Structure 1
């Protein structure tokens, strides 16, 4: 079975690798410069094909890799392939949340000196273990992790962490266009329902929320926005969306999609009001934006339709449909594809060049969370324009 998994992953990666031209270029340079020689990189990030190409690139640059995925999104064939390449990989797709936490602890226990984090789980583990002194620095992929670094973990991180999500390139290329496209495509694939004419409520008008709303409306969906930031709400209104409180939209929306990075956006009061038959979807990193425990506590019964669709019965002869158990739908749902290959080529080039700066020019950075250096953003923008042949 393991050999079959490795063969399947190898076949998939042949296609993925061929479409990631930016990483291909930097792999050639890293093979000579070896910026990560002598470093052990600990990673907590979705283990799927595009991430495998990222890890290959770091390994070509001399890094020893110790990694785990995120809960519910790990792809077992990719794990088998990476292990076959000599990397230390923890985790499987059907891991429980408790096992996922144990996997993160295993990466921390391996004593990496550079971190590639997603949601700040590794940084939190390093803080709890009191091992911050051994860390050279790292990167953080997400909005949610950036919030943790600047709030929960503020003043506890004595090394630089470059927040990839702060890059305008990631915001535009990956969050708005790639997340927007993949969330809408995943909704259509998982539910087999049409978008045109359906009423959608998108909670959050950050870059991901903007993208989801944009692609829903482009396909004919009716879209309302929930946003607590007055300026973003104003922008959403000028962009032509209905803007209201989530409770006021509870009996209007047919599909509710959370994209905020914050917990309990859809909670008990919302569940008391939501219209019969509504669908609940999350595309944020953590499975906390929909308060699934509160929903289950309120439920009078449930039926698993398939691995990604669950009917949950509520008082008053109502029901809602929960997609992917409230986890990130485009990576934790059935037949996960995630963001487009080209967008992750761009996003992972941000990762590797930022990690290169951490490894080779730490003195140019400050302790704690910080944005991607402007020089890296501009270099990658030039490379991406050339790859796209945008002048033609």
Structure 2
């Protein structure tokens, strides 16, 4: 056994031992076999927690064909999945074109069901003209949901349950797990204190709310940039300063994006940021910070570490970019991702939603839609029983 495989198997063993909700699902699936005879195509961050999800689906009879998301694949976990007989493409250090090629390979296996993260699988299935052969699927992210509704409205001839629309995922995973995990990733990567530092949080959705809350809990000062007036009001009522990016750019020392939108921080903001400002992205796609513009605007660029780049601007100011603008929590060195308990809940949502797609597809509408209410209630009750047994 190679050292890489042994490391992957050991890491997955630890994670599996702490995911009680998925253990229940795996036991039920082993008996009910909801995916027997079906292929599930997967495009997902490949790390130990997702490996436990994938083996849970396999326990339900599924044949798994998958690939990792761009920049977050953990090679030891891929080795473990392949050891278990699953067809897995991808590795950590690949380019964007190779990543899309791996997504294409998954679709070429003609999966019956899709487990998507960013709508890459759906996009290629539509483009390749094979979408009508798919029973249905799930989409993990807001970024993917936005893409489905904007770019593929009326073009997806099967149901897609959007996991991020679940209030359970929004509260437990996005606000608390992503919020805490992203702040901890910034601290680990930079080795800097949060206390007293000035943070500009661009986006006040569930992930942005969580980051703002945890930054403040560490003693940081937080200002929020948000276009939605209702979310602006919520940020004000939560005690945060609210303003435009143009107004806050000279004030901030850290700039964090969580919007699911492209190029929300660009040249106009770069020109006003103070010397030493640090930029980090929490969003699924590496496009929220306009890194092309940053490279074009800079006089020179140098690496300060494996995931830290220093940009010297024309006027001599230095701006710092983390993880090349990729998702801070999973693209960084020693990336841990969200907490085990949060992902246990999120992947129970995934598992039961995929079971619904496989066994009762006609009960669902075509195109993107929320997690069925009964699934949310079942999982909420199970998690309360684990966390607060006296409730």
- 2:221 aligned residue: 222
Q: State the Cα deviation string for residues 37-89 of structure 1 (Å, max 9, x = none).
A: 01100010000000000000000000000000111100000001100100000
What residue is the counterpart of 1:82 in the other structure? 81
Which residue of structure 2 aligns with residue 60 of structure 1?
Answer: 59
Provide the secondary structure at the position in 2 that maps to 1:7.
helix
Q: Does 1:157 align with 2:180?
A: no
Residue aligning to 1:311: 310
2: CA distance between counterparts of 1:269 and 1:390?
A: 52
Q: CA-to-partner distance for each residue in 1:80-116, whole Å, 9 max, x for gaps?
A: 1100100000000001111111111111111111000
SS in 2 for 1:71: coil
1:389 deviation in Å?
Answer: 2.9
The residue that corresponds to 1:71 in the other structure is: 70
* Deviation sequence 1:113-135 (CA, Å, 0-9, x none): 10000010100010110111100
* 1:254-273 correspondence to structure 2 within 5 Å: 254-273=253-272
1:147 correspondence with 2:146: yes
Deviations, residues 205-238 of structure 1 (Å, cap 9, x unaligned) = 1000000000000110000000000000010001
Partners of 1:84 and 1:126 in 2: CA distance: 28
Q: Distance in 1 between matches of 2:23 and 2:249?
A: 47
**Pairs within 5 Å for 1:371-386:** 371-386=370-385
Listed as ranges, the gaps of 5+ residues in structure 2 are none
Distance in 1, matches of 2:104 and 2:296, equals 30
Cα distance in 1 for residues equivalent to 2:57 and 2:361: 17
- When normalised by structure 1's length, the TM-score is 0.99
TM-score, normalised by the number of residues in structure 2: 0.99
**Shift in Å at residue 390 of structure 1?**
4.6
Counterpart mapping for 1:323-334 below 5 A:
323-334=322-333
Residue deviations 1:233-253 (CA, integer Å, cap 9, x gap): 010001100000011111100
Q: 1:107-166: CA deviations, max 9, x gaps? A: 111111100000101000101101111000000000100101111111110100000000
Measure the CA separation in 1 of the matches of 2:224 and 2:390. 35
- 1:10 Cα deviation (Å)? 1.1
Q: Give the alignment's Cα RMSD to 1 decimal.
A: 0.8
Q: How many residues of Structure 1 are paired with residues of Structure 2 in the alignment?
A: 391
Say which SS state the counterpart of residue 2 (structure 2) adopts: helix
Structure 1: gaps (5+ residues): none
Q: Secondary structure at the match of 1:224?
A: strand
2:37 counterpart residue number:
38
Task: Tell me the residue number matched to 2:237.
Answer: 238
Deviations 1:171-218 (CA, angstroms, capped at 9, x unpaired) = 000000000010011011000000010000100110000000000001
